[in-house]
Structure 1
Amino acid sequence: MRNIKLIVVAALVALANAGFAQTEPQVGVTSAPGKVSVTGTIKTTSTIVGIEPGTRTVWLKDAKGKIVQLVVGDEARNFDQLKIGDVVTAEYSQALTVMLRKDDSPLSTKENSSLERTPLGAKPGGTATREVTVIANVTAVNTHTGVITLKGPQGNSLDLIVQDPDQLKHIKKGDRMEVVYNEAIAISVEPQASK
């Protein structure tokens, strides 16, 4: 489990450096009484312009000409398949859903994650996903500021701003909220196009 988290974090740091500025994030918000979901996706494309096998370092150049250096961890198999001119595509998505629960569900935290890597001998790539579900108790509702306070199963508190006053009308102290957070990253490497 810890390795998957480290891989996802490493990939995200790499993507942040390698070209999040290339594309505008696609963000969507949906709302229904007692439920709000926010999703976002960012896609990047870069070209490999340098490789140092001894240190597993790759230099990537984005569409705007910015070059960044990236050290590829041992978890990424098939490093030796990378070639100068290969195109690296990455897509990172996040989703957060907050739902009001009018029941006595016990406070809890659950996490699921997965990691799929390309087969041996193929270009490096793969996907990593993570979903965290928390059921928390509403400990305070401030109708003037639009802030609700949640207390999780480990005793930590979190303030959430509810921007929609109609949503706030449905929430009261003692209710339960289910918060589901999803993130996924997919990275693929395509060979350089033939000239």
Structure 2
Amino acid sequence: MSNAKFLVIAALVAVAPAAWAQQEANVQMSKAPGTATIKGTTRMTATVQDIDPATRTVLLKSPNGKVVEVQVGDEARNFDQLKVGDVVTAVYRESLTLNLKKEGDGITSVEEHPSMERAPAGGKPGGTLGREVKIVANVVAVNPKSRTVTLKGPKGNTLDLKVEDPAQFANIKKGDQVEAVYTEALAISVEPAVKK
């Protein structure tokens, strides 16, 4: 299975736990002339309540009592190591950085680099999935009245981007380029049940 398909499956597994509520979220933003970055991290935990090996289904209970059923795909190594009482932790990180390239060369592009690390054989299930997407787009229009910039990407698609910061907006001109780098990673780990 390709990393991209595995990432989608893992993301769906991560979305189901979003119903767990009891999330810890942290968002940070930074900016400087010609650049802006926003980063976010969400952490969720739940305890394994029940395991059905035949269907590879796991019931997870959040600290606030919500129970979610998750189907674990064949790609997840070491399923047989899961035990009732184990604590599952999912950490999702994403970031977006925009950089202004003055008087760019007009060449647009898109690159995607997936990554995947699985738990070692025999250990508790877990691993990390991620990807980085880098897009270079041309500034084809600047609208001072609405403070929007129109970007044209490598496939000819356009996007109107509102620039709230007047100093940043004043620095952007038609013919410039914007490089956007988006990264995301999902790490899932399992800790053994605490013995009482």
| TM-score > 0.5 by shorter chain | yes
1:105–1:135 CA contact under 8 A, matched in 2: no
Amino acid at match of 2:77: R
Structure 1 residue 145: deviation in Å?
A: 1.4
Deviating more after overlay: 19-28 vs 60-69 = 19-28
Distance 1:7 1:22 in 2: 26
Find the counterpart in structure 1 of residue 17 from structure 2: 18
Distance 1:183 1:134 in 2: 15
Does 1:142 find its partner at 2:132? no
2:97–2:180 CA contact under 8 A, matched in 1: yes
SS at match of 1:167: helix
Does 1:114 find its partner at 2:92? no
Find the counterpart in structure 2 of residue 165 from structure 1: 166
Distance 1:38 1:133 in 2: 15
Does 1:45 find its partner at 2:42? no
Aligned positions of 1:92-111 closer than 5 A: 92-102=92-102, 103-104=104-105, 106-111=107-112
1:18–1:67 CA contact under 8 A, matched in 2: no
1:142–1:148 CA contact under 8 A, matched in 2: yes
Distance 2:163 2:77 in 1: 44
Structure 1 residue 92: deviation in Å?
A: 0.2
What per-residue deviation string (whole Å, max 9, x for no partner) do you get for residues 143-178 of structure 1? 221211111111111121111111000111111110
List runs of 5+ in structure 1 lacking aligned partners: none
Q: Compute the TM-score of the two structures, normalised by the length of structure 1.
A: 0.95
Amino acid at match of 2:189: S
SS at match of 2:12: helix
Structure 1 residue 134: deviation in Å?
A: 0.6
Structure 1 residue 105: deviation in Å?
A: 5.8
2:106–2:138 CA contact under 8 A, matched in 1: no
List runs of 5+ in structure 2 lacking aligned partners: none
Cα RMSD over matched residues?
A: 1.4
What per-residue deviation string (whole Å, max 9, x for no partner) do you get for residues 55-91 of structure 1? 1111100011000011111110111111111100010
Structure 1 residue 113: deviation in Å?
A: 1.4
Find the counterpart in structure 2 of residue 88 from structure 1: 88
Distance 1:12 1:193 in 2: 28
